[in-house]
Structure 1
């Protein structure tokens, strides 16, 4: 005899109600809806972590991002002729950055520790004066050029690696005329504000643009643009050299002088 026959009519009715209620949770439609909801939740979480979560500094860059993803952000400061600070704005203007309340980039002085230090890949700009060493000719001009081109603008950086100075080596592009993307490093070479990077320490990354970069430098040399411009008569009287010392040659010379001073 079924066990329900030993129950009172009221208890039997309650048991049947519970069985009916539980059966509603085991239907094909209910199980399918639960699976789809869980899958959508996991997909949204992955989308957020991969594309919409802000990266506050280089320490938050995961190895899987290099050569696979890009960083879109606002340039808050320019350190010298080939590096700057980027405030990552994932999703860009489409997700409210720059115009929606709470998504405007605040006072750049308060962003310490919240920016990614970017080193422009494939180029080497003339050096500024630092550590007691003199500045190179066109060091200040290269700095001012880069400031005018990217400072307080949105750019896209394609990261290759992290260098020994905790900077992210990136090819950088800036949108001009709404839809046209222009390569920042290529423009520096074209305007004689940098040389092609030749050292073997990580910043010599070019992506697929090495030939393009070397061609831009060669044309700037030929046209005597920027740092390749020969000094005038007044410049010669002031001691400016006819031949140009590249940033790599300058660094090599300074390192050699420092070693000689220590050993001497």
Structure 2
């Protein structure tokens, strides 16, 4: 039994086809094979072209990346990014507490120059120290614009730097069962009204044994920049710091200015010198109660 004519993939009996039909069938098969060959050749050509184009693209990219202008631009961009990162780490980073400050701030042996901290005074403790919320770059750092200084006690906890005014000693408040020193309340009120809520710059000298930063503090009053410690001496609510371990003044010249300011306040009977009597200095007061435990200087 011959195969059905509808299955052209199998050869038919030559006796069942005429010569013309056989020629046409062979021609169709040849055309089919030719079309398949052309399709295969086109596919190979397309793939070869894609490979060539890909290689050409890589070559062009490599050539563009190795151009001097590209290398210079890349080096400039990389340097700029790294410089901005270093700037942020060194000058724009906010330090929450005194213990978070790097050694380049608080150890004289590691400093090339006196480092400063700019910030917002959140509270005044005794009459010669206060709490500072560090706001690097101030307004330029968008503080008070996009970045806010916390106001509630909970948000400020463990988030402020304890600053001790360098070069001065103020009358002591009541501590550890000891009575308050004369004029301690007035001195505290003076410093609170002078500093609280204000922006100040603190030039750091060292850290003391109470994890405070000892610094010379400046504040702008109108168009004039004022040394807070010097102004307190002039107002008669502080004395020049006295201690066997010494104190930081920012130089002999500033130390002499402090001493002159204290003498002037005494002569003019300002603040705690208004009665013209010899008062017990803060250092004498602390020495008197030292047996009961050393108070903070």
TM-score w.r.t. the length of structure 2 is 0.76
Cα shift at 1:108 = 3.6
> Which of 133, 138, 141 is the matching residue for 1:92?
138
| RMSD (CA atoms) | 1.8
> Which of 199, 205, 230 is the matching residue for 1:160?
205
- Where in structure 2 are the equivalents of 1:1-264 lying within 5 Å? 11-66=51-106, 67-98=113-144, 100-101=145-146, 103-109=147-153, 110-177=155-222, 179-201=223-245, 204-208=247-251, 209-230=254-275, 242-256=277-291, 258=292
- The whole-number CA distance in structure 2 between the counterparts of 1:18 and 1:129 is 79
Deviations for 1:211-261, whole angstroms, at most 9, x for unmatched residues? 100000011111121111227xxxxxxxxxx421000011111114x38xx
- The whole-number CA distance in structure 1 between the counterparts of 2:288 and 2:115 is 37
Structure 1 stretches of 4+ moved >6 Å: none
Q: Any unmatched runs of 5+ in structure 1?
A: 1-6, 232-241, 260-264
Q: Any unmatched runs of 5+ in structure 2?
A: 1-46, 107-112
Cα shift at 1:94 = 2.3
Structure 2 equivalent of residue 234 of structure 1? none
Deviations for 1:30-60, whole angstroms, at most 9, x for unmatched residues? 1111100110001101111111111111121
| Larger radius of gyration between Structure 1 and Structure 2 | 2
Q: Larger deviation: 218-227 or 11-20?
A: 11-20
Task: Give aligned pairs, total.
Answer: 238
TM-score w.r.t. the length of structure 1 is 0.85
CA contact (8 A) 1:76 1:108 kept: no
- The whole-number CA distance in structure 1 between the counterparts of 2:245 and 2:133 is 25
Deviations for 1:1-29, whole angstroms, at most 9, x for unmatched residues? xxxxxx96664454333222211111101
SS in 1 for 2:115: coil
